[in-house]
Structure 1
Amino acid sequence: MKKVVRTWLAYIVAFVLIAAMLTGCKGPKDTTTGKKTAETSQEAESVTEKETKTETKTETKAESEPAPSGEMTEVGTPRNETLIVECQSPTDTPGQFNSYMQGTSMGFGIHQLMSAMMWEIDTVKGEQFGEVADGMPESNADFTEHTIKIRQGIKWSDGEDLTADDVAFTFNMIMNNPGIPQCTYYKQVFKSVEKVDDYTVKIVTNEPFPRLAQRFGVTIWGNDLRIVPEHIYSKQADVTQFKDSEPVVAGPYTVKAYDDLGKWILYERREDWKNSTVGVVTGKEPQAKYVWFRNLGDDTTRQMSLINNEVDILCEVSPEMLEVMTAQNPNIACWYKDFPYATSDDPCSKGLAFSMGKGAPFDNKDFRWGVALAMNFDEISQNIFNGVGRASPFPILTNTSAAQELYVKPLLPWLKDFSLDLGDGTTVKPFDEGYADRMAEVLKGKGYDIPTDHDALVDMFGVGCWKYDPAAAEKLFIKAGLEKKDDGWYFNGKPFTFNMTYLADTEAQAGRGVQAAYDQLTKFGFKINLVSESSATWDTNGQTGNYDIAGYWPTGFITKDIYSQINGWDADLIVPMGEKGSGQGTRWKNDRATEIIHELSKLSPDDAKAYELGQEFFKIAIEELPFIGFHSGVKFVPTNSTYWNNYPNSENPYNGPWWWWSCFKYILTEISPVK
């Protein structure tokens, strides 16, 4: 339980925020719409209505009253029929809905509500199920021929049946179009993809490939294979230049309107939702007639929007923001009711990625290990989310609760004995298993009720982190070719300066981690430029390798079989710097790791050897440290139950709070209106 003083502080901060909001603005005014606009009169009326409501709601927000009826949104839809979801960044490509055109903002509801996946993921069971596919692939003995049945009954939103024609066309479109980044990989895997009959597709792979569903279906966020309507895309001269501004979709929602400035997209449930992917798979109707994805702006506006019931779901906030919001509106909640509030099982850990394609010293593991040991993770953790979160120092595999049980704990004896050669005849064991106990004491001192059971602490804070050892770090930097002088570090006889970049205005966990690491490494004597980037620049630089050290998150873990998490680290997929490819943008090259990926691709996920190879890969990754993890994905993802309820949470975990994943469309059948 928090100290009383923290609650009072939340009220004081909230009062200041409210005063600033009331004097500085009267709510956002989205004045432009795209291809399908709400009626001008409705919009003008709703904006005026909102200006009046902002002040009224501020005075009554703490009263948990039933949702008012008759209210309209700014885009002219009934509020009690509209689920409003935050999108963290505006889109730079408004009106562009083609997932195979560069720059499409898939997370702006496009892949959550409209895209058609071959296989989706049940995040609770960690099991895949067929969406467009009717079940899992049927393969021959050596996994080179695969038969996929297509689920019957799914229709595109224009009434056309979704058939094997669409599936075979999409595969071949990717394989035969060098402008699509996945083209090279698809050619590496597939020999042919052909229609057998209207609801059967036959795939022949160049080599044994037992993980067809895992690689080309959803296991975490989504997948780069999204089935498109053949009767539309086959008519395009160049599909990579086709904006698809009036998309025909298989998902349960279509685009009703969008903002020309890229701030929002309004989706409407299909009248024939029973013929959509979700309708055919589940038989359940998504409860919200409209889903309005919108970017809300700065943190003050985001807070006030949720407090004032102007948005139902926020994507991610800081613990400080959550305290302010829950103190002001009893309908706001997070994954847990009490500490730690956030879930630590988002499978994308945050930390530091290195652009190894740039060469020395970033491609030198001694340099990367030097960075790890030069940082005090206890301080970094407190600077990110006040110590909340499970430590996930490992590269590539995120330390979710499942990963900790399946991979990390079995490797603990090896981790404890693992040592680094410091280059002067000495070694250091970098693993520090005391982090959980230390952080528990820190948080107890701040007034939080923290478990005393060691296993509970390990579940909450993780098995350990990398040791803070400045002396060892200095030796590793010298071993990597750096030289320490009175005025800082030198490399190749010149002052050594590098950039550390993070995504601007969103992904607070990642951004705070980079900033905290910047502080640590600056204190260590490095001269660093700290840079924030827009989402478009950030995404492009991540793929082309145009960064030095950055807060990307090339990690994951949700199933015991890790092939789908690691196959992108295949060194054969590396493309020259400045180009975009289908592999990882860090350009880590390790021959044995690549061999393991190739071996895994030929083994059944159920083969015991697959798990052994996964453990070997994990050890190699730790030795090489292509990524320094901080925490697993810590998600403070608040919801507001004024208009809608039955969101997934720790007491009702029918799914995770993954509004930005493609599986959100299945959560929408469970979120229900407040009566």
Structure 2
Amino acid sequence: MKKVMRTRLAFFLAFVLLSTMLTGCGSSKNTTTGTQTATGTTEKANTETGAEAEPAPSGEMTEVGTPRNETLIVECQSPTDTPGQFNSYMQGTTMGFGIHQLMSAMMWEIDTVKGEQFGEVADGMPESNADFTEHTIKIRQGIKWSDGEDLTADDVVFTFNMIMTNPGITQNAYYNQVFKSVEKVDDYTVKIVTKESFPRLAQRFGVTIWGNDLRIVPEHIYSKQADVTQFKDSDPVVAGPYTVKAYDELGKWILYERREDWKNSTVGVVTGKEPQAKYVWFRNLGDDTTRQMSLINNEVDILCEVSPEMLEVMTAQNPNIACWYKDFPYATSDDPCSKGLAFSMGKGAPFDNKDFRWGVALAMNFDEISQNIFNGVGRASPFPILTNTSAGQELYVKPLLPWLKDFSLDLGDGTTVKPFDEGYADRMAEVLRGKGYDIPTDHDALIDMFGVGCWKYDPAAAEKLFIKAGLEKKDDGWYFNGKPFTFNMTYLADTEAQAGRGVQAAYDQLTKFGFKINLVSESSATWDTNGQTGNFDIAGYWPTGFITKDIYSQINGWDADLIVPMGEKGSGQGTRWKNDRATEIIHELAKLSPDDPKAYELGQEFFKISIEELPFIGFHSGVKFVPTNSTYWNNYPNSENPYNGPWWWWSCFKYITTEISPVK
């Protein structure tokens, strides 16, 4: 399925090539710090080409002195504001810079194809008593820390209790809400007692999507720290298959080296397979022009996320570049984190008023927003909290379609409106056909590609909802409490293109509607802190998920009992949505087996409540154009070889490293 029109592409290619000739795309050579080896000694990494490394047969070397054909180069979307900080329990650590993908030790990991968890540090799933208050966990034997120490029950028990006794750790309040005690039975057995029935121990404290906030740390290192929340851990001792060899003091890259004793790492013990790359170099590449030329020129193997325009440029220039699908829509739409608009309800009115939030939804033309994000590519996911992945659409959305079609909003003047619009897929298909794309006509195929529908564009109804929420419309714009109403819309700078473009498109729509808005981009550290403390008005966060039928692990953070005062960081969601019935459902689900039919019924009820309240306005499910380059490495997961998802930024990436193979 090819696109016919190429004029714009030819112009853009010419611009990119000219920009490259003028600016170049080389990486800086920054000083690195010493790093700890498996034997506990320290070495100084040398960034001069060819230093301390045997040249590859081709003689090609990376800028950090490693053989190119032994180095898998992976993009990290943002530079880190905290270079040399590898402690996951210290605020500001950039976990997605390879830290949780290559080094962290999880209790349970996820098979993203089967949607099933498996034990990583744990040797299998928990064994619980009849009422799920006592849980016995066997620890996998044979895993060693990178300094040669055994990973045992001591490390697991220490990590749990470190979190529970340290208020400075974000998870502290939630862990104390759940756990009564965590104790060692023997060197490879842990007993956990929960304060109430808790049948979802593995789902909540193991990986189901991106990662998990429980990462086992070495007791013999962390127990010696006066304050673990201030311990940078610049020379980390790890259980994963890679250790830090060097890092850039400006925060632009981290070089990892495969452990010589990789067989004793988590991946080695779990799979028996060796990660194929001796080195994995996580890099932040800079602006979009530099990123795409780096992939075209074989200077990087994996990008995290690009726009469809960038993908067209790259595939036209290098036949070794590919995406999840070979043809349209190229991207996968099954990343479980939908992008859209989150509201800081802790700020009070009008953001905590559902009529205001619904007014925002109906004031925006989603057809135009979708085209402004990724030219219409992607499955509409308007629902809050639960993402419209293909699995989510089948398990929850389609069964609730009759309810969605009948659902109505009270406009406050004696009239109502039904906000659900099921015509989006047909409209978008026509738009894309008009642009030269070969779009299927089968209804089911269109629904899978574009989703079951979106929220209606209804400016008249939106105006009534805003007035109901206490706003007043005057000739010079909207007023609240007698004063001109101005608010901020924020997004993460220079990364997460889908989220950033969505906020910008929403800004255009709401500005046209008459609102005065400040559009602001933020660095990663500021963005993360503001999200947790509620220091935003409307922002492009993605507090959503869906990967398994049991939704507890996706929704437990919305428990209103976890809300902390504005300005503080807590264990719950930063939007501070407070709904008593939703909280009751979360508590009821916590006590039920995931296989109990009532759990699914409660999930459907939660879905309805969240739609009625609309604490988040979704645009699309996670649409990921995640290109790879097969010049040096191949056997990446894709639609034809889906042994995993293309989730380089998830903790399961370490299991993909055993499958990505060098080109012979």
**So what's the TM-score if we normalise by structure 1?**
0.94
- Displacement of 1:66 in angstroms is 17
| SS of 1:425 mapped into structure 2 | coil
Question: What's the secondary structure of 1:59's corresponding residue?
Answer: coil
CA contact under 8 A between 1:254 and 1:267: conserved in structure 2? yes
Superimposed CA distance per residue, residues 356-412 of structure 1 (whole angstroms, 9 cap, x where no aligned partner) = 000000000000000000000000000000000000000000000000000000000
> How far apart, CA to CA, are the structure 1 residues paired with 2:380 and 2:72?
34
Secondary structure at the residue paired with 1:564?
helix
Deviations 1:4-51 (A, max 9, x none): 4327724752564345445556554445556xxxxxx999999999xx
* CA contact 1:131–1:281 (8 Å) conserved in 2: yes
| C-alpha contact (below 8 Å) 1:47/1:74 kept by paired residues | no
Q: What's the offset of the Cα at 1:582?
A: 0.4
Per-residue deviation, residues 407-427 of structure 1 (Å, max 9, x unmatched): 000000000000000000000
With over 3 angstroms needed to count, the CA separation of the structure-2 counterparts of 1:420 and 1:15, relative to structure 1, is: closer
8 Å contact 1:14–1:324 — kept in the other structure? no
Alpha-carbon displacement from aligned partner over 1:269-327 (angstroms, at most 9, x marks no partner): 00000000000000000000000001111111101100000000001000000000000
8 Å CA contact 2:56, 2:67 repeated in 1: no
Distance 2:46 2:188 in 1: 53
**Alpha-carbon separation, structure 2, partners of 1:62 and 1:3:** 46
- Partners of 1:236 and 1:242 within 8 A in 2: yes
SS at 1:552 equivalent:
coil
Change (3 A) 1:65 1:500: farther
Would the alpha carbon gap of residues 355 and 44 (structure 1) be closer, same or farther in structure 2, given more than 3 Å must change? Answer: closer
Q: In structure 1, what is the Cα distance between the partners aligned to 2:46 and 2:407?
A: 58
1:178-233 CA deviation, whole Å, 9 max, x = no partner? Answer: 01010110000000000000000000000000000000000000000000011111
- What whole-Å deviation, never above 9, does each CA across 1:455-478 have from its counterpart, x for those lacking one? 000000000000000000000000
CA contact (8 A) 2:33 2:45 kept: no
> Alpha-carbon deviations, 1:496-540, whole Å to 9, x = none?
000000000000000000000000000000000000000110000
* C-alpha distance in structure 1 between counterparts of 2:117 and 2:39, whole Å: 46
Partner Cα separation in structure 1 for residue 311 and residue 291 of structure 2: 11
**C-alpha contact (below 8 Å) 1:195/1:202 kept by paired residues:** yes
Alignment partners' CA distance in 1, 2:432 and 2:191: 57
Q: Which residue of 2 aligns with 1:294?
A: 283
CA contact (8 A) 2:241 2:654 kept: yes
Q: 1:640 to 1:65 in 2, by over 3 A?
A: farther
CA distance in 1, matches of 2:87, 2:52: 44
Does the 8 Å contact 1:344/1:633 carry over to 2?
yes
- Secondary structure of the 1:265 match is strand
Q: Deviations over 1:604-653 (max 9, x none)?
A: 00000000000000000000000000000000000000000000000000
Measured at CA, do residues 65 and 44 of structure 1 come closer, stay the same or move farther in structure 2, by a change above 3 Å? Answer: closer
Residue 123 of structure 1, CA deviation: 0.4
Cα pair 2:383 2:616 within 8 Å, conserved: yes
Change (3 A) 1:48 1:581: closer
CA contact (8 A) 1:61 1:328 kept: no
| 8 A Cα contact 1:46 1:75, kept in partner | no
Pairwise CA distance, 1:352: 0.2
The 3-state SS of whatever aligns with 1:196 is: strand
Say if 1:270 and 1:16 are closer, same or farther in 2 by CA, change over 3 A.
closer
C-alpha change, 1:26 and 1:295, in structure 2 (3 Å) is closer
Q: Who is 2:40 aligned against?
A: 46
CA contact (8 A) 2:30 2:47 kept: no
SS of equivalent residue, structure 2 residue 99: helix
Query: 1:674 Cα deviation (Å)?
Result: 0.2
Q: Give the paired residue count.
A: 664
In structure 2, relative to structure 1, the CA distance for the partners of 1:303 and 1:425 (3 Å cut) is same
Q: Secondary structure at the match of 1:12?
A: helix
User: For 1:582, what is the secondary structure of its paired residue?
Assistant: coil
User: Is the counterpart of residue 544 in structure 1 residue 533 in structure 2?
Assistant: yes
Residue 26 of structure 1 corresponds to 26
- Do the aligned residues in 1 keep the contact of 2:346 with 2:575 (CA within 8 Å)? yes
Range with bigger deviation, 594-603 or 239-248? 239-248
CA distance in 2, matches of 1:376, 1:234: 55
Which stretch of structure 1 is more off in the superposition, 115-124 or 69-78?
Answer: 69-78
Would the alpha carbon gap of residues 608 and 56 (structure 1) be closer, same or farther in structure 2, given more than 3 Å must change? closer
The CA deviation at 1:247 is 0.7
Matched with 1:614 is 603
* Greater mean alpha carbon deviation, residues 9-18 or residues 537-546: 9-18
* 1:166 and 2:155 are equivalent in the alignment: yes
| Structure 2 partner of 1:90 | 79
Give how far 1:69 is off.
2.1
Distance change (3 Å), C-alpha of 1:59 and 1:603: closer
Write the deviation string for residues 243-271 of structure 1: whole angstroms up to 9, x where unpaired.
11111100000000001111110000000
Structure 1 CA distance for aligned equivalents of residues 42 and 12 of structure 2: 29
Question: Contact 1:644/1:672 (CA < 8 Å) preserved in 2?
Answer: yes
Q: Is the 8 A contact 2:488 2:519 kept in 1?
A: yes
Superposed CA RMSD: 4.5
Secondary structure (helix, strand or coil) at the match of 2:46 reads helix
- Distance (Å, rounded) in 2 between the aligned partners of 1:158 and 1:21: 46
Deviates more, 1:61-70 or 1:145-154: 61-70
Q: 1:62 to 1:237 in 2, by over 3 A?
A: closer
Deviations 1:310-363 (A, max 9, x none): 000001000000000000000000000000000000000000000000000000
Q: Distance in 2 between matches of 1:299 and 1:519?
A: 23
- Distance across 2 between alignment mates of 1:640 and 1:262: 24
Does the 8 Å contact 2:36/2:235 carry over to 1? Answer: no
- Pair 377,64 (structure 1): closer, same or farther in 2 beyond 3 Å: farther
Distance 1:668 1:228, change over 3 A: same
Distance 1:496 1:163, change over 3 A: same
Q: Greater shift after overlay, 144-153 or 7-16?
A: 7-16
**1:552-586 Cα deviation digits (max 9, x unpaired):** 00000000000000000000000000000000000
State how 1:135-154 maps to structure 2 within 5 Å. Answer: 135-154=124-143
State which of 497, 500, 506 in structure 1 corresponds to 2:489: 500
Is residue 599 from structure 1 mapped to residue 599 from structure 2 by the alignment?
A: no
- Do the aligned partners of 1:112 and 1:662 also contact (CA within 8 Å) in 2? yes
**Once the two structures are superposed, what CA deviation does each residue of 1:423-448 show, in whole Å capped at 9, x if it has no partner?**
00000000000000000000000000
Measured at CA, do residues 206 and 6 of structure 1 come closer, stay the same or move farther in structure 2, by a change above 3 Å? same
Measure the CA separation in 1 of the matches of 2:372 and 2:591: 44
Q: Please give the alpha-carbon distance, in whole angstroms, between the structure 1 residues aligned to 2:151 and 2:56.
A: 39
**Shift in CA distance, 241/12, structure 1 to aligned 2, threshold 3 Å:** closer
Distance in 1 (CA, whole Å) between partners of 2:525 and 2:446 is 39
Say whether the 8 Å CA contact 1:67–1:642 is kept in structure 2. no
Q: Check whether the contact 1:502–1:551 (CA below 8 A) recurs between aligned residues.
A: yes
SS at match of 2:41: helix
Distance 2:256 2:382 in 1: 39
**C-alpha distance 482-68 of structure 1, shift in aligned 2 (>3 A):** farther
Report whether the alignment pairs 1:384 with 2:373.
Answer: yes
Q: Give the conservation status (yes or no) of the 8 Å contact 1:335–1:637.
A: yes
Contact 2:243 2:259 in 1 (8 A): yes
Q: TM-score, normalised by structure 2?
A: 0.96
Residues 295 and 168 of structure 1: is their aligned pair in 2 closer, same or farther, counting only changes over 3 Å?
same
Give the share of equivalent positions with the same residue, in percent.
Answer: 94
> Unaligned stretches of 5+ in structure 1?
35-40, 50-54
Aligned partners of 1:91, 1:245: CA distance in 2, in Å?
14
Question: In the alignment, is the contact (CA less than 8 A) between 1:61 and 1:329 conserved in 2?
Answer: no
> What is the distance in 1 between the residues matched to 2:30 and 2:429?
45
Task: Decide whether the 8 Å contact of 1:57 with 1:308 is kept in 2.
Answer: no
CA distance in 2, matches of 1:576, 1:371: 25
Label 1:209 to 1:46 Cα distance change in 2 as closer, same or farther (>3 A): closer
The residue matched to 1:382 in structure 2 has which SS? helix
**Partner Cα distance (1:342, 1:199) in 2:** 43
Instruction: Tell me whether 1:562 sits opposite 2:551 in the alignment.
Output: yes
Structure 1 residues 42, 668: CA separation in 2 closer, same or farther (over 3 Å shift)?
closer
- After superposition, the Cα gap between the structure-2 partners of 1:162 and 1:411, relative to the gap in structure 1 and judged at 3 Å, is same
Structure 2 SS opposite 1:231: helix
Is the Cα–Cα contact under 8 Å of residues 193 and 202 in structure 1 kept in the other structure?
A: yes
In 2, Cα distance between equivalents of 1:430 and 1:474: 14
